[in-house]
Chains A and B, each alone.
Chain A
């Protein structure tokens, strides 16, 4: 257990990129007061591969937490544990404890369907359904039975699209296929689709990596607005993005959570050598 929150000094890393697994302790402030989600000693295995090693952290209310790190560090794997998307991978095993509002989401009594309604997800590549824009947004509310009438459904679709900042662009062509939109619009459509089921937490797995800078900027603004109503965990490759949108940042390295803390501290004054190497562009 590494529940000592504060590590006083920067650690040296004599083995270069290697992490001393035996004695590794997360640097920074993994835990906060009054968290929405708590993760304790999470291990993830793909078959024999140990992809996430003993990660513990909290996710707070109405905050944006970003996960950064070099490719293959396990940040996407970790975020997918938070709404059990990893269940779809046969060889994937998750160990440890992940709680949402005090309930273990990996408990046998938990049904993944309402969990995923509560913890929505936006993916790296925009993946609208090959159906109309309206159907894309309406699908979630419809299967969960959130709307009693057609009018109610229309309203949910409109508010979701408004929240995603897409309404003005598509209000006249709701019956056109979602796949015909531009990349950035598609990603906002996917966000609208996630919002439509009124989740409490939205997980975003590199939502801007397939978009151009203008579309990226729009999504970043959107994330900032959404923060007031939702808790957002975002995985990103772009450190600028992390620093722009998030309040807290976690740095992953080869399956280890190396350092976590307020974003400005991580980017201005990292405590761990690996974090510093990464954010100064020495590798990654």
Chain B
């Protein structure tokens, strides 16, 4: 019996080693990693691509933008991913890491925009907020009347702005690891902070100090970290009419019967408002392609073509049905050309 076990283990390990040799010498499916925000869009393209061509369906991991770049920049070769999705542009430090590991040629493709919405239950009326209100309600420290920074004293929305209803501030949002949170802080909080003269002055003097104030969300319970699962936030909003939630536009789009987007600076997050750039809290979404892999992994070119086709990311393409806000026509054309010519990022 013992002998048998030993033999089984030995054969298994041999088999395992052989398998890994085969698996590593080539790969016939595209490997994609990266942002969880881009994930719902990339997967649709991948599925469409897999079902309408003879290539295998690409494998897409949702690792977050930062995690995606880390894997993507680890090197060239079949064991490294071919494409990474990102809900922000690549940082120069990441380009450097890439270059250090031999990933010198990267093609940047913008795929469209995502709006970050503040939403509440349809059972009450929509909130009408300004960026300044958002900052005043959610920052850890806000300037008081004399211009000194004090811990956020605001308990209700009325404390923030007398025009707002007298309900407790309760905002469900993503945790710090999320790209949505980064974008929200950058787009909504920061522009709100700048409305304070004193903070605006601080920004021109000491940008770091300003960012520290503008980007820090309060931790006294008014902002509730609700995890990465946006569906959960939607459910909680449905149950608690006084709460506000922060998430990507596609979740609002899918749940219009339950929740409504709050006005930010007078604009409600609708498809058109985000597409036209009127809605202030929106961000571009990207994917990055390892040029060295394009002719090595079968189907890369075709996948890129599928993604950059009008039927996918166009104004009426299937991605817009999933909640992606398309780029303006001219921008789309530019990026489609970039994809075609595999135009790499110049450092």
A and B touch in the complex (CB under 8 A): no
Please report B residues at the A interface, Cβ cutoff 8 Å. Answer: none
A residues neighboring B (CB under 8 Å)? none
